[in-house]
A and B are shown apart, each in its own frame.
Chain A
């Protein structure tokens, strides 16, 4: 029956959303954790901010419009530089390159990702619930 196909598809779609947002949360967490991570060698590059892009994946068999992670890349924005001669990562002039991570941006993104995750979860719960309602018609017939 088409109902179950459509609802099953919606559950898979919501599942793909949950997966994708989970990866996004992981990426953001790594950015936050490494916001201060400088290079291990003098004058070297620090942690580079990671970015994530999604893409729409059309499942031809069911027509389901899934989402998936297209790519996890590196932010090409320049590093900020500080004067800190005592730092092990300082170059010969005493400059230290710091990660191109802005904590405030990451925190806002984290909130967004959480919100998206919760939204997908709500969709998944409802799809499951609607399927149960249909089956429940068979009870006390």
Chain B
């Protein structure tokens, strides 16, 4: 059960989204901190490639990147178009939009996990 790709992927997804939530929190909290540069994660697909996840993997032993491998987040900075005089580059409205994205994506990942697990438990009866 633990090496099924779908569940592995779902766990990676929630780990990624949690890391993104932390970066968003940092950006919003530091919206008024001088010279603070807003951070975000690279897209999920890029992170997956980096961890060499292959859907047709033949080695189920190393399917999930461990927490350590996803931390520290592979962050990138916002462009300087948002920078204020102090060098702060946080765009709070943008962060709020990203917050909503994280919410939906997290809901989908946990929803998928829940439903497929239910289906599995049903089939066992």
Interface size class of A (residues with CB under 8 A): 35 or more
Cβ 8 A contact of B34, one of A4, A53, A65, A123: A53
Interface size on B, residues (CB 8 A): 37
A92 on the B face (CB < 8 A): no
User: Could you say which residues of chain A place their CB within 8 Å of the CB of B9?
Assistant: none
Cβ 8 A contact of A2, one of B18, B31, B34: B18
User: Could you say which residues of chain A place their CB within 8 Å of the CB of B39?
Assistant: 65
Choose, from B45-53, B54-62, B77-85, B100-108, the stretch at the interface. Answer: B100-108
A10, A16, A56, A122 pick with most chain B CB within 10 angstroms: A10
A-B interface pairs (CB < 8 A), number: 118
B71–A141 CB distance below 8 A: no
Binding site for A on B (CB under 8 A): 14-15, 17-19, 21-26, 28-34, 36, 39, 67, 70-72, 92, 95-96, 99, 102-103, 106-107, 110, 113-114, 117, 121
A/B interface sample: 26 pairs, CB < 8 A: A2-B19, A2-B70, A3-B14, A6-B18, A6-B71, A10-B22, A11-B25, A17-B31, A24-B32, A55-B34, A63-B72, A65-B23, A65-B39, A66-B29, A67-B29, A67-B30, A115-B92, A119-B31, A119-B95, A120-B29, A126-B102, A130-B21, A133-B106, A134-B14, A137-B113, A141-B121
